[in-house]
Amino acid sequence: MKNVTFKVKRYNPETKETRFQDYKVEVDESEVVLDALIRVREYQDETLAVRCSCRSAICGSCGIKVNGHAVLACKTKIADVTRDGKTEVTVEPFGNTKSVKDLVSDMQPFWSKVRQVQPWLKATQPPPAREYIASADAMQDLVGTMNCIMCGCCVSDCTVLEVDKNFIGPAALAKAYRFVADPRETDAARDERLKELSKYGGIWDCTHCLECVQVCPKGVAPMERILDTRRAAMEAGYKDNNGSRHSDSFANSVKHSGALNELRLLPESLGLDDVDAQLKFMPTALRAAVKRKVPPIIHKKRPGAEHVKRIFDEMEKH
């Protein structure tokens, strides 16, 4: 047994006051953080609000931040968060959401984003006389995504949502992929989804920070699913957007010179014929020039660029 101090961020909705409160708990290191919080609520402070249900990493209701990262409290061993002799653990409600009280976060915006991607199958109508048939291989690709328990850990730690609430977010976008890749979805429905997901706030707004992959307790790897959806959208022809042009410009310059041509990246991403968008970036470009932060005007081929091109050519065959 070991004494651990849980520094819990509390929020009182009546007074709107936020503060940290320390609770000292005697714990067995094999216990999980939720065990300690429930013990606090049962024996030290019945006003502490904690949400949980299954206590088995299934229902997704006990998401909180522990030592700065989103976790399921019922899956997080105390031994893992008190390594190297630590005796203090910081416990907070989710990021990118408002607290309803203490550790209970308001998940309403989370569910609105999930509804926004229309998380249901749009299969051929009228339905077949028996069941819709999907091959085992095709469904295999979806198994990872179907493991999502809608806990919201990925949304809590998403770095884009911190600055842009319009971003649909990793959980809802991973859910969207689940239907984009479902072989039973009609072509028209899939196309419509990809068109919607390519707009502002969708798949192109992720910055690949990997946070959602790291914190997801179910291995869904939402960022990977976003990248899969991007590929599907580009293959379906939805390329008239900054993200798609950015991706093409990046790949083309690396393919042909072995390195990124930074000078072309921004104008090509904005669209060479979009003069208004180009002009908006002029003040930033001038400031960068004054500080001598501009890339070389002449972009030279790197030695060995032909090998890089060969890799691209090989990949493009598949």
Measured from the CB of residue 73, what is the shortest distance to ligand FES in angstroms?
Answer: 6
Tokens of 221: 């790897």
- Which helix (H) or strand (E) covers residue 63, if one does? strand 63-66
Quick check: 243 binds ligand SF4 (CB under 6 A)? no
| 159 is an interface residue for ligand SF4 by CB under 6 A | yes
Please name which of 238, 123, 99, 216 lies closest in space to residue 169, comparing C-alpha atoms: 216
For 258-291, b/e burial (b = at least 16 CB within 10 A) is: beebeebbbbbbbeeeeeeeeeeeeeeeeeeeee
Partner from ligand FES, ligand SF4, none contacting 222, C-beta within 5 to 8 A by type: ligand SF4
* Torsion angle defined by CA atoms of residues 204, 205, 208 and 211, in that order, rounded to the nearest 10 degrees: -140
Among 32, 66, 220, 232, binds ligand SF4 (CB under 6 A): 220
Minimum distance of ligand FES from residue 151's CB (angstroms): 6
The helix or strand, by DSSP H or E, that contains position 6, with its residue range, turns out to be strand 2-12
* Binding partner at 194 among ligand SF4, ligand FES, none, C-beta below 5 to 8 Å by kind: none
Nearest distance in Å: CB 93, ligand SF4: 15
Tokens of 253: 């310059």
Beta carbon nearer to ligand SF4, 62 or 89: 62
Task: State in angstroms the smallest separation of the CB of 34 from ligand FES.
Answer: 6
Closer Cβ to ligand FES, 48 or 160, answer by number: 48
Among 40, 52, 66, 154, binds ligand FES (CB under 6 A): 52
| Distance, CA of 242 to CA of 230 (rounded, Å) | 12
Looking at 17-25, 31-39, 201-209, 231-239, which segment touches ligand SF4 (CB under 6 A)?
201-209
Tokens of 132: 């819709």
Asked if 194 interacts with ligand FES (CB under 6 A), we say no
Q: Which of ligand SF4, ligand FES, none does residue 58 bind (CB under 5 to 8 Å by kind)?
A: ligand FES
Q: How far apart are CA 62 and CA 124, in angstroms?
A: 38
Nearer to ligand FES, 60 or 201 (CB): 60
Stretch near ligand FES under the rule CB under 6 A, chosen from 56-64, 139-147, 152-160, 283-291: 56-64
Among 150, 181, 233, 270, binds ligand SF4 (CB under 6 A): 150
Which element (helix H / strand E) includes 75? none
Per CB under 6 A, the list member of 39, 49, 58, 309 interacting with ligand FES is 58
- Which residue lies nearer to ligand FES by CB, 36 or 180? 36
Distance CA(152)–CA(109), nearest Å, equals 11
Q: What is the CA radius of gyration of the chain?
A: 24
